[in-house]
Structure 1
Amino acid sequence: MSAWVEHVIWWQVFPLGFVGADKELAGARPAPHQLSRLQGWLDHLVALGANGLALGPVFTSRTHGYDTTDYLEIDPRLGDGTDFDALVAACRERGIRVLLDGVFNHAGRDFPPVRAALEGGAGSEAGRWIRWSDGHPYYFEGHDQLVALDHGSVEVQDHVVEVMTSWLERGIDGWRLDAAYAVPPEFWAAVLPRVRERFPDAWFVGEMIHGDYQDYVHRSGLDSITQYELWKAVWSSLRERNFFELEWTLGRHRDLVADLLPLTFVGNHDVTRIATQVADPRHVAHAVALLFFLPGVPSVYYGDEYGLRALKEDRAGGDDAIRPEMPGAPSEVADADAGTWSVYQRMIGLRRRHPWLTRAETATSGVANEQLRVHAWSAADGGRLTLALNLGDAPSPLPEGAGAVLEAGAPVLAGAVAPHSWAVVEG
């Protein structure tokens, strides 16, 4: 894996939502150069302490971006290739890495090879592009607008190699691979070596919601996966005041980090906002502290740093609230929570001062329903820190012999973490 990944902190954006694009490409209002709006937020990204821009779908699609119809063109609702190149150049000027979202498990019905396959049938030459089940097209998770590609097809493999290398040539640094859990790992094992021949420093992270993360990475050749297990344990333990759940998951996370470097997050474009999920506003900062204290490659979903709230709903349009339009400048954000912004800045700053946290060894102590201590250390760097979490109504003592307080949600008095607070201490 490339050395730069050890130091990247992503700021993830869902572009179609961010710019307020029309929901469907057909009949969309002319809105050229919308992608350029993101350039006005790059200094915000840097001020936050991040140095990576992880973009959701930017390729031409019929609706939400995950029904791709042209993998080599920017969606007209966002702009064009010139706008994209300008955004990448602006990122380069600031030392910002760029990650693209590749939807290679399935494609939209209007993707030309898919359209030809649907018209020609399973026995046609184009039919080799898509998966069939008893002579019928296979649809991803039952959505008839998302046609599953045939990953055993040489045509599909060649196309994905072309797409990946084309955008890497234009300056991106890697790929998030959508719905990787639904793609046979052998597909990536066939594709990625061909891409790495030309771009050995590229990073590939697969979306894994469930399954055996380590086995999939080993068989596929991916660099990383999305750590959904940890995401679930963080918000659930905070909401239910049950740190036993988090402690158990941290054991699995420890084993995972020993083998690979997962992408960690407390929010993304597919889930309820962390400030809504946790429910108790006093405990949102605990999630932020965990994100940047625990090992992995952290990612911040746009707006979470302001404490934005939104609920994902299982209905048509149920993702709209969690993929909001943003104003032209960060200073224009309504309902921004300065306290949440401060926690993000301070904890990212701590992460920068202790870069060994990315691969830290960890252990826990003092576990109770409402209290937990997470210890992190690096034998190579000699660093050792403790994150003490308290969800209770009474102060919680720091571990005996704890050193200086580096960051905290509230002042640490008499060697104890304040009620509903947290602290990072030396030792």
Structure 2
Amino acid sequence: MPAEPAWVHHAIWWQVYPLGFVGAHPGTAATPGEHRLRRIVAWLDHAVELGASGIALGPIFASSSHGYDTVDHFRIDPRLGDDADFDLLVAEAHGRGLRVQLDGVFNHVGREHPRAQAAIAAGPGSPGASWLATEHGPEGLRFATFEGHDALLALNQADPGVEDLVVRVMVHWLDRGADAWRLDAAYAVPPEFWARVLPRVRARHPDAWYVAEVIHGDYQAFVEHAGVDSVTQYELWKAIWSSINDRNFFELDWALSRHGRMLESFVPATFVGNHDVTRIATRITDPRHLAHALVLLATLGGTPTIYAGDEYGMHGVKEDRSGGDDAIRTEFAATGPAGAPDGGGDAAIYRLHQRLIGLRRRHAWLHLATTAPVELRNEQYVYEAVGDGHRLLVALNLGDHPFAPAGTDGQPLAADDDTSSYGNGSVAPHGWAIWNGGA
């Protein structure tokens, strides 16, 4: 497996789902001359002020509805704009020192994709349908879909033409200035396909970063066999909010032991929110404990991502129905933060994000840090994060009483307001603190 590019060691992504962000939800008609993609430019200074070093975009290519039903990988979705709008966004991002990540949907295409339409006309099993995967159903041979969605037809990754298409698409947009790719639904694609594709792309763009969407399974084996740089760490995401809600830090500690083993061979992509899950401010049932999830994201090894709006404590529930993503893919003000009340939400949560991201950027070694438990109880967890000769001590308290972790001298590097007022090494009820453990 190739080593990840050096710039990723400092990467902190701010993720945007463009179609929702700019008000082009499924069903929205394309309006010539509107150039909605440029709205994101108005938020780039916000990403910089937050502390991010890159902007991770959801799907931006021509599609029929939500972006994951692609109909043309080489064309910007007309609801967003055109190539000139993309070039402007990349130039403005790079001018601020922000990398740009794209979302590649290469497991399936929309039913209205020209190749899909031609295949449907020719019928499954015909020479013209070789790009699409087939399966046997009650009525005989039929085109395979992605997870039962009739509008999403699965590609046949064994076909050389599909491999060539994916390579051409990835190289095309990297040539135009993209820095990284998220590989959507990578878990549904044979790892051997990525192992053939990525070396061809890296030959042209050796400094690009490739992260695969993988939800369940053996992350380490996937990285090894597929040759990607990273995978989405859903195990840790679940353990963070679940252990906090259940006041059961033993679950988190177990997940961190697995996380540490992953860090021996690759750096997972970490997050507490994204465009596919209920927002973290909604998921955490006790608002006093939202900060604990953010502290974990900031101090654990990995390449972290902040989902746009989470920094303001936005709420939204993901529902398993048609349109069930709309509440977590909301529209943002076209004029940037100044066009939204209080910047769009809770200013205190925004300032906390800034503090914690700032701490992480001052301790860039955390990218590769591993953790070990120091004190572990249901409601209290103290762990040390260690890497490159450095050490931080992190204490989380979900209980109703203060507690004093062992080995904490002096004022913490960062803490909640109540803990900071103690000044005696104790962590306030429902509080948290981070101490410098020294080199």
User: 2 CA distance for matches of 1:367 and 1:123?
Assistant: 58
User: 2 CA distance for matches of 1:403 and 1:66?
Assistant: 51
Q: 1:24: Cα distance to partner?
A: 2.4
Q: 1:179: Cα distance to partner?
A: 0.4
Give deviations 1:140-184, integer Å, cap 9, x for gaps. Answer: 010000000001110000000000000000000010000011000
Q: Percent identity?
A: 56
User: 1 CA distance for matches of 2:373 and 2:409?
Assistant: 15
Report if aligned partners of 1:231, 1:265 keep a CA contact under 8 Å in 2: yes
Is 1:188 the equivalent of 2:229?
no
Output the TM-score relative to the length of structure 2.
0.95
3-state SS of the aligned residue for 1:187?
helix
Is 1:5 the equivalent of 2:8?
yes
User: 2 CA distance for matches of 1:287 and 1:11?
Assistant: 17
> Which residue does 2:406 correspond to in 1?
399
Alignment-mate amino acid for residue 71 of structure 1: H
The Cα RMSD (Å) is: 1.2
Q: 1:240: Cα distance to partner?
A: 1.2
- What pairs with 1:29-178 in structure 2 (closer than 5 Å)? 29-30=31-32, 32-134=34-136, 135-178=141-184
Give deviations 1:332-380, integer Å, cap 9, x for gaps. Answer: 33461111111110011110111101101210121111100120112x3
User: 1 CA distance for matches of 2:179 and 2:25?
Assistant: 28
Report if aligned partners of 1:58, 1:75 keep a CA contact under 8 Å in 2: yes
User: 2 CA distance for matches of 1:110 and 1:82?
Assistant: 25
3-state SS of the aligned residue for 2:413?
strand
> Which residue does 2:380 correspond to in 1?
371
User: 2 CA distance for matches of 1:261 and 1:403?
Assistant: 32
Q: 1:359 aligns with which of 361, 368, 372?
A: 368
User: 2 CA distance for matches of 1:361 and 1:227?
Assistant: 15
User: 2 CA distance for matches of 1:39 and 1:143?
Assistant: 33
User: 2 CA distance for matches of 1:35 and 1:344?
Assistant: 26
Report if aligned partners of 1:114, 1:126 keep a CA contact under 8 Å in 2: no
User: 2 CA distance for matches of 1:326 and 1:249?
Assistant: 34
Q: 2:428 aligns with which of 394, 418, 424?
A: 418
User: 1 CA distance for matches of 2:252 and 2:25?
Assistant: 40
Q: 1:30: Cα distance to partner?
A: 4.5
Output the TM-score relative to the length of structure 1.
0.97
Moved more, 76-85 or 400-409: 400-409
Q: 1:218 aligns with which of 221, 224, 241?
A: 224
3-state SS of the aligned residue for 2:165?
helix
Alignment-mate amino acid for residue 301 of structure 2: P
Gaps of 5+ in 1: none
Q: 1:333 aligns with which of 337, 340, 365?
A: 340
3-state SS of the aligned residue for 1:98?
strand
User: 2 CA distance for matches of 1:235 and 1:30?
Assistant: 43
Report if aligned partners of 1:22, 1:28 keep a CA contact under 8 Å in 2: no
User: 1 CA distance for matches of 2:101 and 2:120?
Assistant: 32
Q: 1:383: Cα distance to partner?
A: 1.3
CA shift in 2, pair 1:303/1:22, >3 Å: closer
Is 1:305 the equivalent of 2:297?
no
Alignment-mate amino acid for residue 144 of structure 1: D
Report if aligned partners of 2:25, 2:66 keep a CA contact under 8 Å in 1: no
Gaps of 5+ in 2: none
Number of aligned pairs?
Answer: 424
Is 1:386 the equivalent of 2:393?
yes
Q: 1:284 aligns with which of 253, 275, 290?
A: 290
Is 1:322 the equivalent of 2:332?
no
- What pairs with 1:9-20 in structure 2 (closer than 5 Å)? 9-20=12-23
User: 2 CA distance for matches of 1:248 and 1:31?
Assistant: 53
Give deviations 1:284-331, integer Å, cap 9, x for gaps. Answer: 011111001000000000000000011111111110000000012213
